[in-house]
Structure 1
Amino acid sequence: MDGATDDVSQAIAGELQLMDPAVRASRERAGQLLDPEFVEVGGSGRRWTYEAMLAELPDHPGSSADAPCFEPSRMSGVLLAPGLVHLTFETMLGERRTRHSSIWRREDGTTAWRMYYHQATLVPPGVD
């Protein structure tokens, strides 16, 4: 596996971990995957910061093993620059379909990839 493919694979692995209810319910585990400068624009239009996301993530949909979990599809990524990966994908959470774009970065001298930015857009019923 070449470096770019390996980097994209590691970012995808991190993204999938963030969809795991056990990770979402744990401030410590989720905090290891989110960059301290993390920002998200959610499907609701709300802007989330690192601290706000970690505080509320356990109560978000997809954070309980007893409720519907995220079902990702069409996940792909590209290495934008050394230490910077852009992922795009879709998820289903129950009947709710969402398109996602995230940027993962790795700080120089580390092996840990962290989500730096995330955008979610709800897909209305009937839209391809």
Structure 2
Amino acid sequence: MAREQHPDITEAIVRERRLHDPAVRLSRPLAEALFDPEFIEVGASGRRWTHAEMIAALPELHGGEDGPPIEAGEFTGAVLAPGIVHLTYETVIDGRRARRSSVWRRDPDGVLRLYYHQGTPVPEPEE
């Protein structure tokens, strides 16, 4: 019998998927609504991104209007504490796979926002 998923995990997955939507990536107000003001990312490249840097760059990054789409799947999640959700999932962007980890936290108004994100490239299989 399948275990029912915690509603906070479901909400975090929905919000994570919204970040992959080109319309959101191209709209500063829509993107701002999803990011915690203290957001930090360690990208698959190893680059560290701040909130301001990410919001400014988001329209030009993968998943934007002209870039390759973000294919995401295999989402799993855990509630670490009340209002704190950890998600893991995998993406394929332009043929490159990455494993991803996100931490979402509720702000004082009760809105779940992306606090931390990290991407790790998956090496190509050796032949």
- TM-score for both structures, normalised by structure 1: 0.90
Hey, what does 2:106 align to over in structure 1? Answer: 106
**Does the alignment pair 1:15 with 2:37?**
no
Partner-residue secondary structure (3-state), 1:68: coil
Segments of 4+ moved more than 6 angstroms: none
Hey, what does 2:35 align to over in structure 1? Answer: 34
Partner-residue secondary structure (3-state), 1:111: coil
- Identical pairs, percent: 51
Q: Distance in 2 between matches of 1:67 and 1:101?
A: 22
Q: Distance in 2 between matches of 1:68 and 1:61?
A: 6
Q: Distance in 1 between matches of 2:67 and 2:105?
A: 30
Greater CA drift, 9-18 or 66-75: 66-75
Unaligned 5+ runs, structure 1: none
- Cα displacement (A) at 1:94: 1.9
Q: Distance in 2 between matches of 1:102 and 1:44?
A: 16
- Cα displacement (A) at 1:87: 0.1
Hey, what does 2:122 align to over in structure 1? Answer: 123
Once the two structures are superposed, what CA deviation does each residue of 1:67-114 show, in whole Å capped at 9, x if it has no partner?
421111110101000000000000011201111000000024x33110
How many residues are paired up? 123
Unaligned 5+ runs, structure 2: none
Q: Distance in 1 between matches of 2:74 and 2:53?
A: 28
